[in-house]
Amino acid sequence: MTPVTSRGFGRLTLDVRQNLPAWKQAVFVGSSLILGLAISVAILAVAGIPPLTLASELAGVLTAENLRGVLIQAAPLILVGLGASLAFRIGFWNLGIEGQMVFGGIFAAAISIYDIGPPATRLILMGMAAALGGALWVLLVVFLKLRFRVNEIIATLLLNYVAMYFLFHLLYGAWQDSKTAFPQSTPFRPFERLTDIGYGVNTGLLIALGGVLAAGWMIHLSRIGFYTRFISANPRMAKVVGVPVQTATIWIIAISGACSGLGGFVNVASQEGRLTQSFANGYVFSGVLIAFLSRNDPIVVAIVGFLIAVLFITGQTLQVFYQIPFTMVQMIEAIIVMTVASSEFLIRHRIRWIR
């Protein structure tokens, strides 16, 4: 028997890297991002969108008049990204973002439909209701996880379908706008809508940026942020030294759900101005992607959220003018996550060829 290594062509081995300089890490992540985008462009080219057309569409999205649409779209995406990143920070896979958005939208719409509170404070009330709706919907899963050890990945994903059918139940039934045949609620009144405050900036975006600052303060400066880091590093140790692990976990996840609920409200109150069937579609993986690329940092979430908004608006343009289905956006998001996640392997390991 001859040993394997003497066959002549050698073999691959992995070395574990202790650390890699920050700039090299940035090079790996950056080039993997470019690779992901290149694959996406190639797939679109095969699907009938030549790269040049794509570039001109992208340039069109970034013109002054379309930028307004991007800023409106960025608000729910940032809020959803905050929701995902807060939950991921504590090791809770909140994949129920769409369900929480739906319930945020439903709670906000309920305030409008049942005409609760004076007009002056109506929007604030709707926002609070939406946050409550999203938080309650995710707390249901928290309860199931803590009490019955139900896996939250499956539970949150399945509850998205339940929330969607509940929305359909309302929109094809009690809440359907009697003036149209479409499954939509009655439009919100003017004082129930988020409006433009100049320079293309929408009040929804202000809510999102306020959320970014609040979450940034919470994660980086407040006590609960410190607890969060402690719990995600070593929950048992945290418990032993007296960190209120369960309370902190529940609060963080509730806030995560509230962010998604607010995202639903912002989306409904700034774009369509009424509940529609599909207002929450495509946000689950967007949330995952934004949290993943921003490494769960609230401040970076704002930047990444804006970039994903550009992708969303481009996707809508391609859908309208080239009949490319909007799920294409999800495909590109998935490709980017795959390539960027793969770069972590190269950051942590060195591949060597041993003869």
Partner 1 sequence: MIDFLVNWLANAPVTAVPYALAALGLIIAERSGVLNLTAEGLMLVGALAGAGACLALGGYPAVALVAAMVAASAVSLLFAVLVVVLRINQVIAGLSVVFFCQGFTGLVGTLAKWQNKQLTGLAPLKIWPLSEIPGIGRILFQQDPIVYLTILIFFAVNFLLFRTMLGLRIRSVGENPGAADAAGVSVTLHRIFAIVAGSSLIGLAGGYISVVSVKLWVTGMTGGRGWIAVALVVFARWAPWPALAGALLFGCIEALIPQIAAAGIRVPQYLMLMTPYLATIAVMIWVGTKDSGITQEPGALGQPHVREERR
- In the complex, the residues that contact partner 1 under the rule CB under 8 A are 13-16, 43, 47-48, 93, 95, 144, 147-151, 153-155, 157-159, 161-162, 165-166, 168-169, 172-173, 284-285, 288, 292, 323-325, 327-335, 337-338, 341-342, 344-345, 349
Using CA atoms, how far residue 8 sits from 1, 5, 264, in Å, is 15, 7, 61
Q: Identify which of 233, 231, 250 has the alpha carbon closest to the alpha carbon of residue 242.
A: 231
User: Quick one: 20 or 144, whose CB is closer to partner 1?
Assistant: 144
| Strands (DSSP E) found in the chain | 11-16, 349-354
In the complex, least distance from residue 311 CB atom to partner 1, rounded to whole angstroms: 12
- For residues 133 and 154, give the distance between their C-alpha atoms in angstroms, rounded to a whole number: 20
DSSP string, 209-254: HHHHHHHHHHHHTSHHHHHHHHHHH-HHHHHHTT--HHHHHHHHHH
In the complex, least distance from residue 142 CB atom to partner 1, rounded to whole angstroms: 14
Amino acid at the residue 229: R
| Strands (DSSP E) found in 34-73 | none
What angle (nearest 5°) sits at the alpha carbon of residue 191, between those of residues 187 and 196? 95
In the complex, least distance from residue 303 CB atom to partner 1, rounded to whole angstroms: 21
- For residues 148 and 144, give the distance between their C-alpha atoms in angstroms, rounded to a whole number: 5
User: Quick one: 166 or 230, whose CB is closer to partner 1?
Assistant: 166
In the complex, least distance from residue 82 CB atom to partner 1, rounded to whole angstroms: 19
In the complex, least distance from residue 20 CB atom to partner 1, rounded to whole angstroms: 16
User: Quick one: 110 or 243, whose CB is closer to partner 1?
Assistant: 110
Residues 6+ apart with CB under 8 A from 8: none
User: Quick one: 161 or 182, whose CB is closer to partner 1?
Assistant: 161
User: Quick one: 4 or 22, whose CB is closer to partner 1?
Assistant: 4
In the complex, least distance from residue 159 CB atom to partner 1, rounded to whole angstroms: 7
- For residues 92 and 142, give the distance between their C-alpha atoms in angstroms, rounded to a whole number: 9
Q: How many CB atoms lie within 10 A of CB 261?
A: 35
Q: How far apart are the first and last CA of the chain?
A: 18
In the complex, least distance from residue 79 CB atom to partner 1, rounded to whole angstroms: 20
**What are the backbone dihedrals phi and psi of residue 179, each rounded to the nearest 5 degrees, phi first?**
-80, -20
